[in-house]
Structure 1
């Protein structure tokens, strides 16, 4: 039977446009059903979707949109996922047919070719996506931090062969974990300095010096298909120029546990390796679940002072390090701070009397692959223990002072959280050695040996 009914969803999108506000003037909204992919050739069209507005929109439009019964707790953020579950398969084609015949309600991701209407062309596009033969893919990006995310589509050419990976060390490391280092055509200088990644990145061009300082001329020289960057903020200073050159900026965060599964699965579809994506996700979930299982119902939670890189720069609320304390079964003594990394005074630490002290470090001299001398770490611990007035702090009296490398976090937060959990509750994790968890990750996903220091004292002694 020929399907000739077309569902135009522009009116629904118009409702979204009225209630949404872009974070910057450079954000454009897709409001016309007639807009074609060709109109987007110079770059991506964006839609900002704050969580709170998404909730309000859902309440207002519940009579217009209903989630299909097959919807899962996780939704793959790829256009073509018509039934809003965790993959794209034949069920999405059947759901699309139901939308077109009026049997199923339209969903946001049903517009597989992202042209503003749902018709037979979306069925064709979904079939191409399933076979891995689509010449373009539209995916949702999750911009910002988990407490205030916006969803924003970006359309990319397929297949992707050349990637400028400038999301710090995390973007390149994730691509290497997929075994796709050959697709990397440019990285930041900071990524080249990570000794764990040296075998993969030593010959890659440096196209920037930091997360916020890119060399656009060098990026364009590499002729990338996409630029892969962090998603915790917008980069309008670079995005507009990339759009003008026809290069999509794809933003993903691989270090935030709340976004990890979504980002890794989306990347798996981009790279055509969903199996590897599931392996990475399973590793994280396995080790995070173990920690939560042992600490989730604890009534007795030690007070923890976590110090960031600078002296007396505390870990405050609303960041991954605070989450590591909470999930690890502790209470952050600066949870009440008004900033994520507040500057505090020594007296406040003394008064709050933490039972555990954790010093975080990103020093490549103290930690990382190839580092064997623990002498400098012992000196650093000694400096903290001997701070004036600290001798009566419980953590000092009971020798509960630890130093942890933040490089152990990277794109495997479960490793970092395991270090924190063992620091805070060694009695609950006697059978767990975070070094061994990290060793397993490095061997399984990068094929490199664990050869260095990532925590002090050694976790086996905790």
Structure 2
């Protein structure tokens, strides 16, 4: 139970950070003078306009972050473009300016499994010198990448001494825990190490976070491929769901891992999943994640039930081939007292979906949900095939796993 509770806390911490939208973004790197999504010669031209007085200064114009805007900033922009800069100043996920020595060669990521998986997907696993212990213990898809790396404790409370011994240039962390890590930041800074809170799993900032790290690692092309993958599948979901009339959106009971625990407005599980995937929450009158009255659920008669699960709750996720445990949990869910009365059970619309499919590719997870709610809209889309493509393209491994029940091919 202790392990399960800890995993739930970790999942809650990351899911609460998730929002939506794959739109144009501003690259939060100093030197992006014209405030678009890249640093190129247009920024040098724009910077010259600032110096000449024809353009207004922008937040990111001070490329070398020395408090002045002058010809040295143009020189820094040219160095960034050529990949020869000696340091790079970014805005982290909290909005702090952080100056990082370049090239970036030594990274500790304490951002659960999401951080290490992103570095591996960027092709920068050789830069990782330490990771959160959770990633080593619970990320089977990363076994071949992390097997020789030391664990440095938890995401919220890492082992500071272990980190200092590794002598990283940066410690990458979740934004969610930043306010709890003032002591960690102070200790690292005094040792010449930068704490960089930057979430890769938040769709509304995914493109900026991925491309920012792409610049830090000199992996801009790889970062763009990750962004393009996400945008492509999120666009498919958005384009199809927007054609739905309100009466075509099913009434959904969303269960957050535990029996009769639902996620209403104000929770990431609801706000960033159901509206985007074309579902209406039968508990849209509650706030956040709460336990509900089983009788009230039956009265509200959902047309679909979507239960989120995690690997510690039931044997599932990457590397799993035995569907027995997840099938058993689904049967237990369906056979609850009085559930034979609800339409979701009568019509076999009860789905278990693993949030392991979320990670730093929210589009994959959302495609599972969108397809189960609207199989007719997504009859040409196979979420498992999309996930297989992601694993092959970005981790170079085969897709083996159990992420949903029933199997999406039956939806």
What TM-score, normalized by structure 1, do the two folds share?
Answer: 0.80
Q: Identify the residue that residue 96 of structure 1 maps to in structure 2.
A: 47
Alignment of 1:182-193 (within 5 A): 182-193=126-137
Deviation at 1:74, TM superposition (A): 2.5
Q: Say if 2:267 and 2:287, in contact at 8 Å, map to a contact too.
A: no
Alignment of 1:63-462 (within 5 A): 73-143=24-94, 151-193=95-137, 194-208=139-153, 210-234=154-178, 235-299=181-245, 300-322=248-270, 323-339=272-288, 341-364=289-312, 365-462=314-411
Counterpart secondary structure, 2:368: helix
Name the CA shift for 1:211/1:351 in 2 (closer, same or farther; >3 Å): farther
Larger radius of gyration: 1
| Aligned equivalents of 2:274, 2:203: Cα separation in 1 | 14
Counterpart secondary structure, 1:110: coil
| Aligned equivalents of 1:320, 1:442: Cα separation in 2 | 25
Q: Say if 2:260 and 2:294, in contact at 8 Å, map to a contact too.
A: yes
| Aligned equivalents of 1:336, 1:272: Cα separation in 2 | 47
Deviation at 1:168, TM superposition (A): 0.7
Moved beyond 6 Å, runs of 4+: none
Deviation at 1:319, TM superposition (A): 4.1
| Aligned equivalents of 2:371, 2:39: Cα separation in 1 | 39
| Aligned equivalents of 2:267, 2:126: Cα separation in 1 | 33
Deviation at 1:84, TM superposition (A): 1.2
Name the CA shift for 1:319/1:443 in 2 (closer, same or farther; >3 Å): farther
What TM-score, normalized by structure 2, do the two folds share?
Answer: 0.90
Counterpart secondary structure, 1:430: coil
Deviation at 1:326, TM superposition (A): 1.3
Give the stretch that moved more between structures: 122-131 or 174-183: 122-131
Deviation at 1:233, TM superposition (A): 4.1
Deviation at 1:161, TM superposition (A): 0.3
Deviation at 1:358, TM superposition (A): 1.1
Counterpart secondary structure, 1:137: strand
Counterpart secondary structure, 1:214: coil
Q: Identify the residue that residue 12 of structure 2 maps to in structure 1.
A: none
Deviation at 1:337, TM superposition (A): 2.1
Q: Say if 1:256 and 1:320, in contact at 8 Å, map to a contact too.
A: no
Matched positions, count: 382
Name the CA shift for 1:335/1:246 in 2 (closer, same or farther; >3 Å): farther
Deviation at 1:348, TM superposition (A): 2.4
| Aligned equivalents of 2:388, 2:266: Cα separation in 1 | 29
User: What's the CA shift string for 1:352-396, capped at 9, x where partnerless?
Assistant: 221111111112552122211111112111111111122111111
| Aligned equivalents of 1:227, 1:139: Cα separation in 2 | 14
List alignment gaps of at least 5 residues for structure 2. 1-22
Q: Say if 1:229 and 1:249, in contact at 8 Å, map to a contact too.
A: yes
Give the stretch that moved more between structures: 119-128 or 437-446: 119-128
Counterpart secondary structure, 1:109: coil
List alignment gaps of at least 5 residues for structure 1. 1-71, 144-150
Counterpart secondary structure, 2:130: strand
Q: Identify the residue that residue 35 of structure 1 maps to in structure 2.
A: none
Deviation at 1:405, TM superposition (A): 0.9
